[in-house]
Amino acid sequence: MTLLRQISDAPCIEGQTWGSHFNGQVWVSGGCRGDFGPAQGWVNPDYGTAANAYRCESEQGRHQECRAPAPGRQMLVRQLSETACVEGQTWGSRDGGVWVRGGCRGEFAAADWGGRSPGYGRTVVCESVEQRLNRCNWDPRWGRPALIDQLSQDSCREGRSWGYDGREIWVDRGCRGRFGAR
For the sheet with 91-94, list strands across it.
64-67, 97-100, 91-94
Instruction: Tell whether pTM > 0.75.
Output: no
131: left (phi over 0), alpha (psi -120 to 50) or beta: left
pLDDT tens digits, one per residue of 117-171: 445 567 888 999 999 999 998 888 778 888 877 888 888 888 999 999 988 999 9
**What is the pairing mode between strands 91-94 and 97-100?**
antiparallel
